[in-house]
Amino acid sequence: MSRSLDSSSSQGLVLVNLACGSVFHPAWRNFDVTPVTPQVKYLDIRRRLPFEDASVDVCYAAHVLEHLRRIDARALLAECYRVIRKEGIIRLVVPDLESVVRDYLRLLEAVEGGSIEAQHDYEWILIEMLDQLVRHNSGGAMSSYLRGGKLPNAKFVISRIGLEAERLMDDGEGYKAASRKRNIRNVRHYLRRIREEIVALLATVFLGKDGSLAVREGIFRRSGEVHLWMYDRYSLRQLLETSGFRNVRCCQAGESSIPGFQDYQLDTVEGRTRKPDSLFMEASK
């Protein structure tokens, strides 16, 4: 017999947060390939999810799918469909391709029309649209832009990427140092970095400097930081529907069929949207 989620309480529900990074809640079962705390368990989401069939009430994945190859994204949703019980919910959050393209086209028209005021916003929207697709080093052009001093278009940038922009503009170096320290504490991450350095050194011996650089760039692009695909409301809906989910709908950051979702502050923080450039979508099994 299936349980109903039409309740104001999530007590007793199995809530799963996939590839959570540093955004998690203790009421959920939180997983990441680089756990930041003992409350987050190790899991490579490209593998089988550690749950029995139809044993999970909610699967949530925020800013995850865009870091996967399309074949791996389809495999992950197939796994989510397997573990979610009947009437259970999947909630996906991804960067909204439609939103960034609309802003890009609007700003392109403005700068072509001679608008001086639009030039900084145009520069940013190009970085936001392309940097995580093409970057070869951690943080890329986006991090450099945000940590480059007082921004003349800070209001626009914050309206696009929210709290992430404020954090990097306020204390980019401190945030980066804290991230490095956190990763070093993770044994898997530390051992992987050692192996990568050994491979890069061997590549230098056999392939020269350019070969070593190519190996390092290849390893980085598989690290999980780079975007491997982008989604809009049509393509994400298609992906969910072809994976077997129904009742697919777009929603707002603070809107959800998951009982008490706002209380977890996963997509919102004190009423503010964590990542305003996002597309929020839910579906049921």
CA atoms in the 13 A half-sphere facing the CB of 104: 13
Mean pLDDT over residues 178-197, rounded? 61
Cβ pair 133, 97 in contact under 8 A = no
Specify the pLDDT at position 188: 63
The DSSP bridge partners found for residue 279 are 94
Cβ pair 46, 72 in contact under 8 A = yes
Q: Identify the CA nearest to 59 among candidates 4, 101, 17, 95.
A: 17
Mean pLDDT over residues 120-148, rounded? 93
Mean pLDDT over residues 258-272, rounded? 95
Are β-strands 268-269 and 246-251 bridged in parallel, bridged antiparallel, or unpaired? unpaired
Which tens digits make up the pLDDT trace of 7-59?
A: 555 678 999 999 999 999 999 999 999 898 999 999 999 999 999 999 999 99
Q: For the domain 15-96+231-284, what is the CATH code?
A: 3.40.50.150
pLDDT tier, 223 (very low <50, low <70, confident <90, very high otherwise): confident
Delimit the domains of the chain by residue range: 15-96+231-284, 98-183, 186-221
Dist. CA 180–CA 4, nearest whole Å: 43
Specify the pLDDT at position 198: 81
End-to-end CA distance of the chain: 14
Check the CA dihedral 66-69-70-72 and report its sign: negative
Residues 6+ apart with CB under 8 A from 5: 13, 57, 58, 87, 88, 89, 257, 258, 259
Specify the pLDDT at position 177: 46
Specify the pLDDT at position 116: 95
Specify the pLDDT at position 9: 58
Mean pLDDT over residues 78-92, rounded? 98
Check the CA dihedral 88-93-97-102 and report its sign: positive
Residues 6+ apart with CB under 8 A from 175: 167, 168
Which tens digits make up the pLDDT trace of 157-179?
A: 999 999 888 877 765 444 444 45
Dist. CA 152–CA 222, nearest whole Å: 34
Which carries the bigger pLDDT value, residue 192 or residue 257?
257
The DSSP bridge partners found for residue 273 are 268
Q: Identify the CA nearest to 187 among candidates 85, 54, 35.
A: 35
Tokens of 164: 């992430």
Specify the pLDDT at position 186: 61
Check the CA dihedral 16-19-21-23 and report its sign: negative
pLDDT tier, 94 (very low <50, low <70, confident <90, very high otherwise): very high
- Phi/psi of residue 268, nearest 5 degrees: -130, 155
The average confidence (pLDDT) of the chain is 89
Instruction: Please give the order of strands across the beta sheet that includes 40-42.
Output: 40-42, 29-32, 15-18, 56-62, 84-95, 278-284, 246-251
Which carries the bigger pLDDT value, residue 109 or residue 201?
109
